[in-house]
């Protein structure tokens, strides 16, 4: 490339070379702009209109009406709470902590136990989300395995999907997503030098003390990155909840993605639906900023 270039590269030649070098980015950039950036901008625009499902024709600019409508509606506030409960319960607490515990235990388990456990946990992760939804509907159903098991302990059976729907879908999401955190944490832990942990033990630190003040601080960056990724993944879960409860009963497991879907597609309020989607994007952005902030603080402290 540099061989065939003319001997005196002027500004124009440099520009041409730069464009030529950037050319392979073309297809990816076009796709990303048209199908990702475009819809996001369109989302921002139509959130301020009263657009119906039939399209932009006859849509009027309505300012902040959609957002006003959302924040004064009980159903929206309820679904906002369910979204946060679902995300914090299943991702930040469930997947994150269980994934960490598994990754830590894996380090000192017997080889065949490790292989078996990771095969099962990863198996749950590889299952398509609709299948995971059905598996958990069956597991938690009236005559499902959980009730059978509790029956053996003479605990009365329950319709888990009706009595505690948000807890049920959160549990299913923990089951499905824990493998991701486990893999990320296993990779991070494998890079912690053995000598540092050993010297902490020599200095008389107990297992938990060593974990808390030596091991975990060393993989802080991985923890923050993982938290960000699983939070964003969990915020946009749709298929799992849809197959398990469809957001019911009486909207008691209706997170924002389901609420937005219902408003936009089933009630044909595209403008309102996109406003709700925008709120979801904003929540994702807030979570990301918090995590990124934590990462940056860390760099400064170093």
Partner 1 sequence: MSTVLSRRTSRPVVSRLLVDLALLVVAAGFVVPLLWLLLGAFNARAGLAVTWPHPWTLRNFHAILTYDTTYRPMINGAILCGGGTLLAVFASVLAAYPLSRYQFRAKRPFLLTILFATGLPITAIMVPVYGMFVQVNLIDTLSGTILFMATTALPISIWLTKNFMDGVPIELEQAAWTDGASVMQGLRSIVLPLMWPGLSVVTIYTFIGLWGNFFVPFVLLSSNDRLPASVSIYTFFGQYGQIVYGQLAAYSMLYSLPAVLLYLVLSRRLGGAFSFGGAVKG
Residues 138-197, interacting with partner 1 (CB under 8 A): 138-139, 141-145, 147-148, 175, 183-188, 190
Q: Is the CB of 44 or the CB of 196 nearer to partner 1? A: 44
Contact 62, 49 (CB under 8 A): yes
**Dihedral pair phi/psi, residue 292, rounded to 5°:** -60, -40
- The closest alpha carbon to 185, from 230, 233, 123, belongs to 230
- Helices and strands, counts by H and E, the chain: 18, 0
The b-or-e profile of 32-65 (16+ CB within 10 A means b, else e) is: eeeeeeeeeeebeebbbbbbbeeeeeebeebeeb
Footprint of partner 1 on residues 15-34 (CB under 8 A)? 18, 21-22, 24-29, 31-32, 34
Interface size with partner 1, residues (CB under 8 A): 99
Which listed range, 61-69, 128-136, 159-167, 197-205, lies at the site for partner 1 (CB under 8 A)?
A: 128-136
* CB contact set of 60 (below 8 Å; sequence gap of 6+): 49, 50
Q: Is the CB of 80 or the CB of 184 nearer to partner 1? A: 184
Helix (H, G, I), strand (E, B) or coil at 283: helix
Q: Which two tokens stand for residue 61?
A: 């600019």
Q: How far is the CB of 242 from partner 1 (least distance, A)?
A: 8
Q: From residue 225 to residue 254, what is the string marking binding to partner 1 with x (rule CB under 8 A)?
A: xx-xx--xx-xxxxx--xx-----------
Binding flag, residue 1, partner 1 (CB under 8 A): yes
User: CA 170, CA 178: separation in Å to the nearest integer?
Assistant: 12
Helix (H, G, I), strand (E, B) or coil at 49: strand
Q: Which two tokens stand for residue 72?
A: 């004064």
Binding flag, residue 72, partner 1 (CB under 8 A): no
Q: How far is the CB of 233 from partner 1 (least distance, A)?
A: 8
Place of tokens 């475009």: 38
Q: How far is the CB of 285 from partner 1 (least distance, A)?
A: 9
Q: How far is the CB of 290 from partner 1 (least distance, A)?
A: 13
- The closest alpha carbon to 82, from 176, 147, 173, belongs to 173
Binding flag, residue 211, partner 1 (CB under 8 A): no
Determine which residue in the list 15, 16, 42, 199 makes contact with partner 1, applying CB under 8 A: 42
Determine which residue in the list 55, 156, 193, 204 makes contact with partner 1, applying CB under 8 A: 55
Footprint of partner 1 on residues 77-106 (CB under 8 A)? 98, 101-102, 105-106
Q: Which two tokens stand for residue 76?
A: 């929206």
Q: From residue 269 to residue 288, what is the string marking binding to partner 1 with x (rule CB under 8 A)?
A: -x--xx--xx-xx--x---x
């Amino acid at each position: 490339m540099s061989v065939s270039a003319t001997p005196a590269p002027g500004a124009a030649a440099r520009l041409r070379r730069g464009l030529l070098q950037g050319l392979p980015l073309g297809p990816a950039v076009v796709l990303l702009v048209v199908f990702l950036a475009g819809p996001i901008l369109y989302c921002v625009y139509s959130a301020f209109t009263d657009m119906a499902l039939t399209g932009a024709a006859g849509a009027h600019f309505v300012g902040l009406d959609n957002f006003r409508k959302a924040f004064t509606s009980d159903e929206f506030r309820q679904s906002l709470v369910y979204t946060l409960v679902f995300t914090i319960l299943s991702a930040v607490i469930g997947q994150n902590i269980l994934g960490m515990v598994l990754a830590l235990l894996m380090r000192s388990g017997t080889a065949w136990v490790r292989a078996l456990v990771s095969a099962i946990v990863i198996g749950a992760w590889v299952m398509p989300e609709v299948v995971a939804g059905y598996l958990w509907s069956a597991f938690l159903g009236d005559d499902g395995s959980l009730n059978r098991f509790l029956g053996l302990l003479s605990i009365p059976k329950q319709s888990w999907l009706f009595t505690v729907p948000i807890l049920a879908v959160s549990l299913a999401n923990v089951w499905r997503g824990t493998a991701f955190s486990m893999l990320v944490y296993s990779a991070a832990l494998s890079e912690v030098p053995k000598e540092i942990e050993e010297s902490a033990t020599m200095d008389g630190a107990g297992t938990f003390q060593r974990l808390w003040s030596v091991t975990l601080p060393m993989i802080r960056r991985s923890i923050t990155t993982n938290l960000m990724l699983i939070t964003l993944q969990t915020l946009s879960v749709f298929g799992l909840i849809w197959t398990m409860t469809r957001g019911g009963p009486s909207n008691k497991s209706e997170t924002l993605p389901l609420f937005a879907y219902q408003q936009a597609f089933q009630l044909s309020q595209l403008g309102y639906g996109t406003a709700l989607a925008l709120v979801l994007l904003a929540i994702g952005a807030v979570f990301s900023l918090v995590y990124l902030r934590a990462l940056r603080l860390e760099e400064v402290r170093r």
